[in-house]
Each structure stands twice: as structure tokens, then as C-alpha cells.
């Protein structure tokens, strides 16, 4: 089970939100690069970065901050937030980002996903599905779409997407445990590689999450629980990543 620390960037700073609510923002560090270096020193093998400003505007507001992280780390970095064009994807991959996450655009412009998969490997393009009560939310979680979460996943699977990052919005940032049943149901119906996200709070959650590996859940993004030191990082990674090997295509996707 790959443990992926999350770094959310808002106004150039490293922050955490509660259920995606921009009014419930807590700043942890002024420079996201410093946070990235801390997680790397704590043995992280990959980072998940979200440009929260871009998620709202569609402009790569914090691109320079993200590029600074990528060039200072020796591990793969995946990036999401406001990535809605081929040019945006190319900009990130050209500076060494290993994987980009298509969120809102998978709903509003699915042809973009098809176009990207003609250019890039499925190991470089993943889709983020953030759902509340089984309904995907887009544009910074401010709008709902007409599909069920698993229906969107199956559409993406048909196009060639192999991995989905699945977030249970009702649990995100709440520090009350992750949505075991919602994640299991989604994974069973989607039949894809799943990176779970949202609400993992402690070692008990990790044990439950580990039970979902047979359904394709092989990794997890953790945010606030790491920032609030809910479990020793070194012990966490040692217990759940023992013997883990990253996908060769992805781990070597970064530009040297």
C-alpha cells in the first residue's frame, strides 16, 4: 500500500481544507517546497500536489511553486487542480511531473482524456473522481454532475484510463475515518486501479484500507492526519510499504 502525502497549495502556501471548504483553511507552511522536503525526509516515495487556485480558475496559478518542488525532489510527483487542456498537461510533464490528474475536465470535456491518451501513457494520465454520496463534484467541488461516481469511472476506463483517484468528500479533512463502504463499493463497480483519498485518520483506518487491496485499492493519499502527526510517519511507511515497487513506467517518467 503506497502512502502518498498530499500538499495542497493556495495563494502560494501549503494548506489543508476541511471537506474542500476554502473558508476552512489552515496554513501549515509558507513555502510548499519545504513541506515536500520534509515528507521526503520522512521516507515518502511519492507526493500528491493540488493547485487549489487552479481548481477554481483553470489557470496554473501555482505552476512555479510546483516546478520548484519537482526539481528539488528525487521521487515521482503527481499533480492535480485545474488541468483542463493538453497544453497544461504538457507544461507539467515537461518540467518533470510524473503523473497528472484530470478532474473536472473528465466530466466537462471527456474528449480531452481521449486526446491525452493518444499522446501519453496511461501511467502518466489519471482521473480524479471526488464524490459526495456517490455523486461526482467538479470545479473545486462546487458543482455536481449527472453521473454516478462509478459510471464516470467506467466511461474513463472505456477510453483507456487505468487508474482513478477516488475521494469521499464527506470524509475529506474531517479526521473521522475514511469512507470504507463508499470506497469498497466504488472499487468493486469500477474494476480499476484505485488510489483512495479522504479521511484516513489513524492506523486502524490503514488496516481497514489494506483489506481493500483485492478490489484494486493499492495506494492512499493522506493529508491532514500526517500534518497533525496522528501516527509516526516512519512506522506508517515501514508497516504498509514493505517490499513495495513503483510501476517502472511511472517511476522513471520524471525528466532527469
CA dihedral sign, ordered 85, 248, 155, 78: negative
Using CA atoms, how far apart are residues 126 and 132, in angstroms rounded to an integer? 20
Concerning whether 21 is annotated as a catalytic residue, the answer is no
Q: What is the 3-state secondary structure (H, E, C) of the chain?
A: CEEEEEEEEECCEEEEEECCEEEEEEEEECCHHHHHHHHHHCCCCCEEEEEHHHHHHCCCCCHHHHHHHHHHCCCCEEEECCCCCHHHHHHHHHCCCCEEEECCHHHHCHHHHHHHHHHCCCCCEEEEEEEECCEEEECCCCEECCCCHHHHHHHHHHHCCCEEEEEECCCCCCCCCCCHHHHHHHHHHHCCEEEEECCCCCHHHHHHHHCCHHHCEEEEEECHHHHCCCCCHHHHHHHHCCCCCCCHHHHCCCCC
8 has catalytic annotation:
yes
Contact 218, 194 (CB under 8 A): yes
Angle between helices 149-159 and 110-119 (to 10 degrees): 30
Please pick, among 8, 51, 168, 205, the residue that the annotation labels catalytic. 8
Q: Which residue out of 11, 21, 51, 130 is catalytically annotated?
A: 130
Which residue numbers are catalytic?
8, 130
Amino acid at each position: 500500500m503506497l502512502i502518498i502525502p498530499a500538499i495542497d497549495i493556495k495563494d502560494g502556501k501549503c494548506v489543508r481544507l476541511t471537506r474542500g471548504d476554502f473558508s476552512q483553511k489552515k496554513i501549515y507552511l509558507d513555502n510548499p517546497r519545504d513541506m515536500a522536503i520534509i515528507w521526503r525526509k520522512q521516507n515518502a516515495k511519492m507526493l500528491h500536489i493540488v493547485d487549489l487556485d487552479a481548481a477554481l480558475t483553470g489557470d496554473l496559478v501555482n505552476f512555479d511553486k510546483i516546478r520548484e518542488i519537482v526539481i528539488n525532489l528525487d521521487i515521482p510527483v503527481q499533480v492535480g487542480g485545474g488541468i483542463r487542456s493538453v497544453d497544461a498537461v504538457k507544461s507539467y510533464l515537461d518540467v518533470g511531473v510524473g503523473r497528472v490528474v484530470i478532474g473536472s475536465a473528465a466530466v466537462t470535456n471527456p474528449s480531452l482524456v481521449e486526446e491525452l491518451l493518444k499522446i501519453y501513457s496511461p501511467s502518466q494520465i489519471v482521473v480524479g473522481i471526488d464524490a459526495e454520496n456517490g455523486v461526482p463534484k467538479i470545479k473545486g467541488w462546487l458543482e455536481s454532475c449527472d453521473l454516478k461516481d462509478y459510471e464516470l469511472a467506467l466511461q474513463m476506463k472505456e477510453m483507456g484510463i487505468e487508474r482513478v483517484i477516488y475521494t469521499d468528500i464527506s470524509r475529506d479533512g474531517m479526521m473521522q475515518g475514511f469512507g470504507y463502504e463508499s470506497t469498497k463499493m466504488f472499487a468493486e463497480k469500477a474494476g480499476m486501479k484505485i488510489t483512495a483519498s479522504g479521511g484516513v485518520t489513524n492506523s486502524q483506518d490503514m488496516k481497514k484500507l489494506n483489506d481493500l487491496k483485492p478490489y484494486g485499492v493499492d495506494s492512499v493519499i493522506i493529508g491532514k492526519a500526517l500534518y497533525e502527526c496522528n501516527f509516526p510517519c516512519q512506522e506508517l511507511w515501514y508497516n504498509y510499504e514493505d517490499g513495495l515497487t513503483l510501476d517502472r513506467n511511472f517511476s522513471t517518467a520524471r525528466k532527469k
